[in-house]
Amino acid sequence: MITLKRTTSDHPDFEKLVVALDRYLAILDGDDHAFYAQFNKTNLLKNAIIAYENEVIAGIGAYKEYDTETVEMKRMYTVPEHRGKGIASKILTELETWAKEEKYTNAVLETGFMQKEAISLYQKLGYVIIENYGQYIGVENSICMKKTLLNISKI
């Protein structure tokens, strides 16, 4: 059974998986890891999700405000032995729901071009590749994506 907990990034279970995520990214990013790590300082993310499978920590994700209409999805990670069970989809969907509750209309994210499974997941959930934004402009190894969360039509 998968359960999701809304919390902040200072929750001990979230912090535990951030360590595992950073180890994983250090391998994937190779020489570029120090560059990316500077943008992934957890600090305090007030919108974080922890997924548990049968009460065992299985995955995490969070978002932070990018601008007044947009959140940036951060720190998405599923423990390897829990992958392939839809946990990342559940985490991202819950983060999007939370962002909509807070009246954000868009979500953006950055992932590495080597993270094929992540890119596929994000596309499956409606994210489209966009021009690199912010600190990722001109970074060849970055793939930036965006999704509209709320369509606010003018009456």
- Beta-carbon count within 10 A of 50 CB: 23
Alpha helix locations (H) across the chain?
A: 12-29, 33-37, 87-101, 116-124
Pair type for strands 106-112 and 70-78: parallel
Question: Which domains are present in the chain?
Answer: 2-148 (3.40.630.30)
- pLDDT tens digits, 62-99: 999 999 999 999 999 999 999 999 999 999 999 999 99
Mean pLDDT of the chain: 89
pLDDT band at 33 (very low <50, low <70, confident <90, very high): very low
pLDDT at residue number 28: 62
Query: Does the pLDDT of residue 40 top 60, yes or no?
Result: no
Closest CA to 57 of 93, 92, 11, 95: 11
Question: How big is the chain, counted in residues?
Answer: 155
